[in-house]
């Protein structure tokens, strides 16, 4: 299992949010390459299922915002999705970037960088997506190099039930009354709260319970420094280079 907890006093890991989406079109190979080049310790990405059952790397349930196409990912085959331009919307220099598959990213990352794989499950739900993700991770020998996360905590629990060795974390926005209990219910190894709702006491409670704390999305170095002082284990950012100066 990937090591999520940092030693006391150690700097937090930097997670490149959707690669380095402040510098390149999110969830594309160009963004992942840029994130790694700018010093990200881990690369975060999102996965949905295509109409023909392929794991595709895109944030939204539709292709409308980040490609030149229209429609739901679930209604399009991989071949149809691969025809879309996923880079021109960001800038002409990224024209021709395609929607990657999870296997393509795993092949690229293996031996280079760990991944944070967010399973998108809601408002569009994908029955069996957990098994598909696990199959892909095992096919590329990446089980110990990834953290699987989701806002769907039942999805997190399913991954842990199937493969306890794969690290997993629960995403949430807000202050849970008992985040440790929620993590336990999901069999999670880590909390992934939005940074706007995180306090030093939350971090202490999580660490006392043996849970790692990874927060997001932080683009201001001074804020990252404050969170590092709280003892967070990792920080997601659109600009890995900005945080590299303090983390």
Distances (CA, A) of 25 to 5, 53, 89, 96: 30, 24, 8, 11
Distances (CA, A) of 42 to 66, 174, 186, 191, 241: 22, 24, 23, 16, 13
The pLDDT value recorded for residue 245 is: 82
pLDDT digits (tens, 9 = 90+) for 104-143: 999 999 999 999 999 999 999 999 999 999 999 999 999 9
The pLDDT value recorded for residue 43 is: 98
The pLDDT value recorded for residue 1 is: 87
- pLDDT > 90? residue 166: yes
How far is Cα 157 from Cα 240, in angstroms, rounded to an integer? Answer: 30
Residue 23 falls in the annotated catalytic set: no
Q: How confident is the model at residue 247 (pLDDT cuts 50, 70, 90)?
A: confident
Outline where DSSP puts E strands in the chain. 13-16, 42-49, 55-57, 114-119, 146-150, 167-172, 190-193, 212-215, 234-237
- pLDDT > 90? residue 75: yes
- pLDDT > 90? residue 156: yes
Q: What value does the mean pLDDT of the chain take? A: 97
For 145, residues 6+ apart whose C-beta sits below 8 A from its C-beta are 2, 109, 110, 114, 115
Overall pTM > 0.75: yes
Among the options 48, 59, 153, 192, which is catalytic? 59
CA terminus-to-terminus distance, the chain: 23
Nearest C-alpha neighbor of 190 from the set 52, 40, 198 = 198
pLDDT digits (tens, 9 = 90+) for 6-22: 988 899 999 999 999 99
How far is Cα 5 from Cα 233, in angstroms, rounded to an integer? Answer: 6
Kindly state the percentage of the chain with pLDDT values over 70: 100
How far is Cα 125 from Cα 48, in angstroms, rounded to an integer? Answer: 9
Residue 54 falls in the annotated catalytic set: no
Among the options 17, 48, 54, 192, which is catalytic? 17
- pLDDT > 90? residue 208: yes
Q: Greater confidence, 96 or 247?
A: 96
Q: Residue 241, Cα to own-chain centre: how many angstroms? A: 18
Q: How confident is the model at residue 144 (pLDDT cuts 50, 70, 90)?
A: very high
The pLDDT value recorded for residue 41 is: 97
């Amino acid at each position: 299992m990937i090591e999520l907890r940092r030693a006391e006093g150690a700097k937090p890991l930097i997670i490149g949010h959707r690669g380095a989406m402040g510098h390149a079109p999110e969830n594309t190979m160009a963004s992942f390459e840029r994130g790694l080049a700018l010093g990200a310790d881990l690369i975060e990405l999102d996965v949905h299922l295509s109409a023909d059952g392929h794991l595709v790397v895109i944030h939204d349930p539709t292709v409308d915002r980040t490609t030149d196409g229209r429609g739901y990912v679930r209604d399009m085959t991989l071949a149809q999705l691969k025809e879309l331009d996923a880079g021109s919307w960001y800038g002409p220099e990224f024209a021709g970037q395609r929607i990657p598959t999870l296997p393509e990213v795993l092949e690229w990352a293996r031996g280079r960088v760990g991944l944070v794989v967010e399973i998108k499950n809601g408002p569009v739900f994908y029955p069996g997506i957990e098994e598909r993700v696990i199959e892909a991770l095992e096919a590329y020998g990446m089980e110990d190099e990834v953290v699987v996360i989701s806002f769907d905590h039942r999805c997190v629990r399913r991954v842990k039930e199937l493969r306890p060795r794969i690290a997993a974390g629960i995403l949430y926005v807000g202050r849970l009354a008992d985040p440790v209990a929620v993590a336990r219910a999901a069999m999670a190894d880590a909390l992934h709260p939005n940074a706007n709702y995180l306090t030093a006491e939350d971090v202490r409670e999580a660490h006392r319970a043996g849970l790692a704390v990874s927060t997001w999305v932080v683009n201001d170095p001074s804020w990252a420094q404050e969170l590092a002082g709280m003892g967070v284990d990792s920080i997601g950012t659109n600009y890995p280079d900005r945080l590299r100066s303090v983390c």
